[in-house]
Amino acid sequence: MTTNTSAPQKLYLMQLGTSTVSVAGRTLEMVLGCYLVETSDGKHILIDSGLPADVPLPAGRPPAEHEQGKNVIEQLGDLGLRPDDIDFLICTHFDLDHAGYHDAFTKAELIVQREHYALARSGHPRFAAARPHWDHPALRYRLIDGDTELLPGLTLLETGGHTPGHQSVLVRLPQSGPVLLAIDAVVMQRLFTPDRKAWPLDDNEEQLRASTRKLLELVESEQVELVIFGHDGQQWQTLKKAPAYYE
């Protein structure tokens, strides 16, 4: 590899908070997270930005069951980075727990699926809560259509179903090989099956199942050994978190 290529070198997982929730009668450990990729030529790519500081906890969730960790700005600071050091911000979707600090990244180019951006901009109520953060006039967007290689070794995958135009991310690392960030296409490891069911916040079960199958096939075809699920608290306990990283 020559020195002027831009390829992923490090992947950081930032754990922003944890909570315990009840879904279909089971108690689940959930995690809120975002990700940072550093490339061989020193670029920084942030994937999502977490819950904003200005929202109360979701209704019906006692504070004791939710533990807020360091936010994305503090976690970047621990790595010696400021928001202006971020070159790209990949927006997987505009749910509140994924887009709450987007407005801090005014020097970055924000990458989102055109379908998702159009739906959110049209005033869809689901994305209204985070709108002051993702629809800030100082933000620069690049709208993409479907699967897109952002740079060699980093591919955005259209995985609608949780929301229209949701995206997952495949990152190829020098030692770990391909790592799949499923985000909310597959929030828990146990849902990574071809005949999975939707959860209450999922928009379209048929699309969600098709996206899950697409990711299952990708794991086979690309020989992905690590799939990181969007909110799986049990899995995240076993993963390296920033300041440690995958390389």
Q: Identify each DSSP E strand in 71-225 by its residue range.
A: 88-90, 109-113, 140-144, 148-151, 154-158, 167-173, 177-183
Taking the least distance from each CB to Zn ion, the nearer of 173 and 183 is 183
Taking the least distance from each CB to Zn ion, the nearer of 17 and 153 is 17
CB of residue 120 to Zn ion, shortest distance in Å: 15
Q: Does 202 engage in binding with Zn ion (CB under 5 A)?
A: no
Angle CA 149–151–157, to nearest 5: 30
Q: Does 184 engage in binding with Zn ion (CB under 5 A)?
A: yes
Taking the least distance from each CB to Zn ion, the nearer of 153 and 165 is 165
Sheet of strand 8-23: strand arrangement: 66-68, 8-23, 26-39, 44-47, 88-90, 109-113, 140-144
Q: Which residue is nearest to Zn ion (CB)?
A: 184
Tokens 């897109």 label which residue?
148
Question: Restricting to residues 45-74, which ones interact with Zn ion according to CB under 5 A?
Answer: none
Cβ(227)–Cβ(239) under 8 Å?
Answer: no
Taking the least distance from each CB to Zn ion, the nearer of 104 and 188 is 188
> Interface with Zn ion by CB under 5 A: which range of 105-113, 153-161, 167-175, 183-191?
183-191
> Interface with Zn ion by CB under 5 A: which range of 43-51, 115-123, 177-185, 189-197?
177-185
Q: Does 135 engage in binding with Zn ion (CB under 5 A)?
A: no
CB of residue 172 to Zn ion, shortest distance in Å: 24
Taking the least distance from each CB to Zn ion, the nearer of 9 and 212 is 212
Q: How many CB atoms lie within 10 A of CB 85?
A: 16
CB of residue 62 to Zn ion, shortest distance in Å: 20
CB of residue 8 to Zn ion, shortest distance in Å: 23
Question: Restricting to residues 74-103, which ones interact with Zn ion according to CB under 5 A?
Answer: 97
CB of residue 93 to Zn ion, shortest distance in Å: 8
Element housing 210 (H / E):
helix 205-221
CB of residue 140 to Zn ion, shortest distance in Å: 24
Cβ(116)–Cβ(137) under 8 Å?
Answer: no
Phi, psi of 201 (to 5 degrees): -85, -5
Taking the least distance from each CB to Zn ion, the nearer of 117 and 229 is 229
How far, in whole angstroms, is CA 121 from its chain's centroid?
A: 20
Distance, in Å, from the CA atom of 176 to the CA atom of 181, rounded to the nearest integer, reads 13
Note the residues at the interface with Zn ion (CB under 5 A): 97, 184
